Amino acid sequence: MTATDLRMRGYRDADLPRLTDTFAGWIAQAGSCGYDHVGEVPHRIYENLRGRPVGELVQLWERDGGIVGLAVNGRFGNAFDVFTAPGLRGGGAELAMLRSAADTTAGQTDEGAVLTDVFDCDTTRIELLERLGFARFRTWDHVNERDLREAVEESRLPDGFAVRSARLVDADQLAAVRNHSFGTSWTGDLYRSAVMTEPGYDPAHEIVVEAPDGRIAAFAVCWLDRRNRIGHFEPVGTHRDFQRRGLAGAAMRHAMRWMAGLGMTRVTVNHDAENVAARRLYASLGFQKRHETYGYRRAIDTVRPARSR
């Protein structure tokens, strides 16, 4: 199959169920390397794009009515992701998807380069990126996994703290805990409209730890791939006023016991390779590093001329 056999169009909210089913099928066929977890799809489309127009920044490629590719452009301003059906990996179709995503992202940012990341095991994608002039510049994430068939301890919380699922009325608190965890600038209204009321999000899957004063002290969002029986956390955070009390770990233990009860056999979580605190937290919960992802970048001035061809 060549790029001319494909039809590209903008993503629509109604596409998400079919898209995540397709994504789970790719993982079942080819494994997680190069795909990550189905939960990354809504997370990257909605939470990472933070209310920006998904119809312009998210692209689907189709053939004969089936989805064969996905690009999420403009993540964090100048990063993009491309996911390609297993049968198209390494060929002209995947190369065209990467070119298109680099072009789209270059047109959305004032930064000097466009970025993407790739699994250490994905030699096919690495070769294509290097053919397009991208160069590796850092280790991006550690990809960690835990077997849920092994016992998970019950959560232990300091007196007065409680673990529960999120509610729509928590939007202001959920925005605040993200800002304190990651240095972002969410408002409650934006988090509610861009994430909580969008497809894929279920407040029952956002596990929070509530402090005695009513503030949300920590949170862990969990995602389920029922076809492949894999759980996933993204994101996980703790308000800076409540760090070093084991609260994020308590939320994750609670969620892992719940996931195991639903039949998940393993769970994954990724973290920035330079985040030592996250590495220690996940190791303490029984996670082991399975892969790394590498950051690749290319200068914008080498991308933009391709837009006129």
pLDDT tens-digit profile of 267-302?
A: 999 999 999 999 999 999 999 999 999 999 999 975
Give ∠ CA 80-83-86 in degrees, rounded to 5. 160
Local structure of residue 83 (DSSP, 8 states): E
d(CA 49, CA 22): 22
Q: Is 51 helix (H, G, I), strand (E, B) or coil?
A: coil
d(CA 165, CA 167): 7
Per-residue confidence (pLDDT) for residue 5, from 0 to 100? 86
> What torsion, rounded to 10 degrees, do the Cα atoms 236, 218, 43, 206 define?
120
* pTM of this prediction exceeds 0.85: yes
Query: Mean pLDDT, to the nearest integer, of 304-308?
Result: 40
Percentages of the chain per state (helix, strand, coil), in multiples of 5: 40, 30, 30
Q: How confident is the model over 208-243, as pLDDT tens digits?
A: 999 999 999 999 999 999 999 999 999 999 999 999
Per-residue confidence (pLDDT) for residue 304, from 0 to 100? 47
Among candidate residues 221, 170, 216, the one with its CA nearest the CA of residue 192: 170
CB 309 within 8 A of CB 148: no
Query: Mean pLDDT, to the nearest integer, of 65-85?
Result: 97
Q: Where are the alpha helices (H) located in 58-170, listed in sequence order?
A: 92-106, 123-131
Phi, psi dihedral angles at 251 (to 5 degrees): -60, -40
Which of 3-12, 44-53, 168-177, 217-226 is predicted with the least confidence, judged by mean pLDDT?
3-12
Mean pLDDT of the chain: 95
